[in-house]
Amino acid sequence: MSKKYISEKNISLYLILLAGIFVLLNILGSRYFFRGDFTADKRYTLSTATKNILVELEDPISVTAYFSEGLPPQIERSRTDFQDLLTEYRSVSRGNVHYEFVNPNKNEFTEQIAEQAGIRPVLINTREKDQVAQKKAYLGAVVSYGDQNEVIPLIQEGAAMEHALSMAIKKLTTADRPLIGWIQGHGEPQVSEFYQSMQELDVMYSIKSVELADSINLQQFKTLCLMAPRDSFPPEHTAMLDRYLAGGGNLLMCINFVDADFRQNYGMAMPGNIGDWLTAKGLTPEKAFIIDAACGSVNVVQQHGGFNLQTPVQFPYLPLASTFTRHPVTAGLTTVGFQFASPLTFVGDTTDVKYTPLIFSSAQAATAPVPLMFNIEKKWTKEDFPESHLTMAALLEGKIAGGAKSRLLLISDGDFAINGAGEQARQVNADNINLLINSVDYLSDDTGLISLRTKQIQSRPLKKLDDGAKTAIKYANFLAPVFLIIIVGILRSVRSRNIRNKRLHEEDEDVLND
């Protein structure tokens, strides 16, 4: 048998083997989904919370994604990422997640179906023939479970995509949601004034307003929330809180211990006796303002050229907290803005109670005892902030008020997550909302979704360089290609000379042999 025949036979076997491998990979790829994630923040890796939700699915979930086609590349990428995400959901759920993509722009009938399902179009800027135009686009999805539907009106890139989809599935599949009590009757804001927080809490919990009375059974609540009371507590109400903690309950308290009247530029202590009740537990709130070099601003009317203009001025009484203890309550937080805050100290017995400070001021801070007068136009200096890392939120765990173990989480600002109502309604910073939701999750023993809610694509700005480094890099970029070309030229010249000498040597040997 000739070598040529053997070689051709081997090549045929290799081709058949290679084709078989490709077929096998396609079969495996259709049944099992896998993608590598080499990002530092694991933005393309499903969180443990999502995997737990999908593994526990008993009945199929259907996802109808309404995505327009022919969109700009950066928008089209959202469709691709969402499809990859759904494929991974289907794989982890062992086939319990089904999905389809519909192009609503195909005709008027499909547009009507999308809009009837709750998906509203958005306007996307596109460039056609060197002209900017606006195009109506659909970028939403409907998640269905039995006869129930949950609408995701807008699919956003990054971690928000996984959060929206997992929250929709969790909301549809959770039958018996834990009961959270929202204490009322002492001047607290209404539940409706926390609408941003309620959008998240409604996924996992049933929220119920509670007025403390002897007839109510507080132990039915997984967690009680006391938000910004303005009035004192009768002794019978504080006794009920004691009995609730003694029975193993969990209590979240967001309390204003100081307040301000900006019309009079006056700072004062808040009335009420809840601070005394906390002091008896070993957690003492000081009736003083925390002032912080890292702070928010207020608008001050100033005259410029004969006109009255509102100018933002830094106001250290509005601390911006970015120093946190590593804890599920503070997981994923970057900056929480407080309207006012007071320092907390713990002087209790740590034998039966564990004390954990959670949120701190910056390294440049101080306290200002009340009452006081504000000087909004004051020029603050470093000497005004001699203290550092004052505690603004803390957690007590253990036998706080009896034999059973309970939890009490105190934040020394009651307004940080309030949206308000009517004309006074405002949008609250996302980290403020995450702090409140994380607190409820932790106290209610459901910390799994914290990692999902606070999962973010981390920003990694380029490192700033000094002028010398910039100059060195500039010349390196210019000269490196030149030197590379010279080195390649030298190497090629040496190689050619060696080949030429080798050929001359072989020719000389052939002449001698002849």
What does the alpha-carbon distance between residue 160 and residue 143 come to, in Å, rounded to a whole number?
Answer: 16
**Could you give the 3-state DSSP secondary structure of residue 473?**
helix
The per-residue b/e assignment along 181-192, b for 16 or more CB within 10 angstroms, e otherwise, is: bbbbebebbebe
- At 176, list the tokens: 């018996």
CATH topology for the 178-453 domain: Rossmann fold (3.40.50)
Q: Is the pLDDT of residue 221 over 90?
A: yes
Q: Is the pLDDT of residue 250 over 90?
A: yes
Which residues, 6+ apart, have CB-to-CB distance to 128 below 8 Å? none
Nearest CA to 162 out of 459, 457, 460 is that of: 457
What does the alpha-carbon distance between residue 434 and residue 321 come to, in Å, rounded to a whole number?
Answer: 14
User: In sequence order, what E strands does 97-249 have?
Assistant: 97-102, 122-128, 131-137, 139-145, 148-152, 179-184, 206-211, 223-227
Cβ neighbours of 327 (radius 10 Å)? 15
Q: What is the pLDDT of residue 459?
A: 47
Q: What is the pLDDT of residue 135?
A: 80
Q: What is the secondary structure of 342-353 as a DSSP string?
A: --EEE-S-TTTE
**Could you give the 3-state DSSP secondary structure of residue 496?**
helix
List, in sequence order, the alpha helices (H) in 233-326.
Answer: 235-246, 274-279
**Could you give the 3-state DSSP secondary structure of residue 427?**
coil
CB 141 within 8 A of CB 102: no
Q: What is the pLDDT of residue 167?
A: 85
Q: Which helix (H) or strand (E) holds 448?
A: helix 448-453
pLDDT (average), residues 212-231 = 92
Cβ neighbours of 240 (radius 10 Å)? 18
**Could you give the 3-state DSSP secondary structure of residue 445?**
coil
Q: Is the pLDDT of residue 473 over 50?
A: yes
Q: Which helix (H) or strand (E) holds 273?
A: none
- Intervals of CATH 3.40.50.880 along the chain: 178-453
pLDDT band at residue 472 using 50, 70 and 90 as cut-offs: confident
- At 341, list the tokens: 């805050």
Looking at the chain, the whole-number percentage of residues with pLDDT higher than 90 is: 50
CATH number of 48-172: 3.40.30.10
Q: Is 203 exposed, middle or buried (0-12, 13-18, 19+ CB in 10 A)?
A: buried
pLDDT (average), residues 92-103 = 92
Specify the higher pLDDT residue, 133 or 95: 95
CB 372 within 8 A of CB 289: yes
pLDDT (average), residues 345-365 = 94
What does the alpha-carbon distance between residue 40 and residue 367 come to, in Å, rounded to a whole number?
Answer: 39
pLDDT (average), residues 259-276 = 91
332 Ramachandran zone, left/alpha/beta (phi>0; psi -120 to 50): left
The DSSP code for 136 is E
| Sign of the torsion formed by the C-alpha atoms of 158, 160, 162 and 164 | negative
CB 425 within 8 A of CB 419: yes
Specify the higher pLDDT residue, 367 or 23: 367
For residue range 65-86, list pLDDT tens digits in order.
999 888 888 788 888 889 989 9
- At 262, list the tokens: 């900006």
Amino acid (1-letter code) at residue 444: S
Q: Which residue is listed with tokens 């982890």? A: 92
Angle at 100 between CA 96 and CA 102, to 5 degrees: 160
Amino acid (1-letter code) at residue 76: E
The DSSP code for 387 is B
Specify the higher pLDDT residue, 170 or 226: 226
Nearest 5°: phi and psi at 341?
-150, 155
Q: What is the secondary structure of 54-76 as a DSSP string?
A: HHT--S-EEEEEEE-SS--HHHH
According to DSSP, the residues that pair with 202 across neighbouring strands are none
- Intervals of CATH 3.40.30.10 along the chain: 48-172
Q: Which residue is listed with tokens 């319990």? A: 96
Distance (Å) of CA 99 to CA 53, 142, 298: 17, 10, 49
pLDDT (average), residues 331-348 = 94
